[in-house]
Amino acid sequence: MIPTTPRFDRYFKEFYLPHETVFKRGHFNDYNYAISENETGDSGGLTKFGIDQRSHPSIDIEKLTLADAESITYLEDWLAVHAEIMPPGYGEALCDIKVNGGNGAKMLQCGLNEILPVNEQLTVDGIIGIRTLNAARTEGKAGLLALLAYREAYYREIAKQPSKTRFLAGWLNRNNDLKTFALECWHKGESSV
């Protein structure tokens, strides 16, 4: 297992794992009994701890350990979205958007553009540069809520496809849970300043 950060550890243990782990019947919350699943209609194929076969063809998903899943998530998702430099709550939200195959940077820029004055609009390029980072810092809680509202709209749009409609309730539940978790992170971050 590679070294991570306390902020990532909290996201991974308190939010990610409860949403990404399926347990053998009768062993809920015992990670020694986590099992893989292959959800019909999910293009990722066989999945365990949120790590899917399609994205990781060289990994034996059935034998994937919790420690390996944590390392993969940290390297491929957390570090990829630069979560650690984002304001509290934003980094966690961007990581979770990446985990679920979305472009968090574009969603953030679109969400912020919904609340920014016209003369301060961001270029929607999917790159978190200094202007996007500063806008997130300046807009604070309102920007975080705008990001998550944009993600909800994104899910609703995807769910218009007949093959994806059945996933909408789960996606919306996850987004609502993320809103609660991300706002809690944001509030804790604000109180420590």
* CB neighbour burial string for 132-141, b if at least 16 within 10 angstroms, e if fewer: bbebbeebbe
pTM (2 d.p.): 0.93
Q: State pLDDT tens for residues 8-37.
A: 999 999 999 999 999 999 999 899 899 999
Of the chain, the percentage scoring pLDDT greater than 70 comes to 97
Dihedral of CA 114/118/122/125: which sign?
Answer: positive
Q: Quote the Cα angle for 42-160-113, to 5°.
A: 100
Q: Mean pLDDT across the stretch 71-80? A: 96
192 — pLDDT class (breaks 50, 70, 90): low
